[in-house]
Structures are given as C-alpha cells and as structure tokens.
Amino acid sequence: MQGIDVHVVPVGDRWAVETEGVGRETFDTQAEAIAAGAERAKQTKVELFIHGRDGQIRERNSFGHDPRDVKG
C-alpha cells in the first residue's frame, strides 16, 4: 500500500477516510475522520488530503519522507 494517498471526504452527512485499493471507512464527524486518516497516513508514510464539504482540498499533510532542506 506504500505510496497510495489517504483522503478525508464528505459522504452525505458523514465523513469518510478513503484509500485506493483499501476502501472507505465512515465517521460521524470530520474531526474523527481526520484523526483516523492521519493515523493511516502516518503508518503508510503518505500524503493526507482533507477535503471540504464542496469537495475541494482544503488542507494537505505529508507523513512521507520529506527532504531535510524543506522549511516549514
């Protein structure tokens, strides 16, 4: 599963953590989905994309191998 990014997306009135090839896990709140998505992204060392209700990416976090000379 290495290299497959994790997405937190709206699904109806719930929030889901989606990973290609793994499937979808749904949660009551976006905060719960973000926490679960972050944990999954950390374990697999990939990117976490957090989408808003409009489907647009509102935040992106890297849990992969970032270059050491990148500030921030």
**pLDDT over 80 (residue 19):** yes
Q: Picking from 4-8, 19-23, 33-37, 63-67, which range would have the lowest pLDDT averaged per residue?
A: 63-67
CA 41-34-50 angle, 5° bins:
85
Give the range of the structural domain holding residue 11, as residue numbers without chain letter.
6-62
Sheet holding 6-11, edge to edge: 23-27, 14-19, 6-11, 47-51, 57-62
User: How many independent structural domains does the chain possess?
Assistant: 1
In a domain, 70, yes or no: no
**pLDDT over 50 (residue 41):** yes
In a domain, 72, yes or no: no
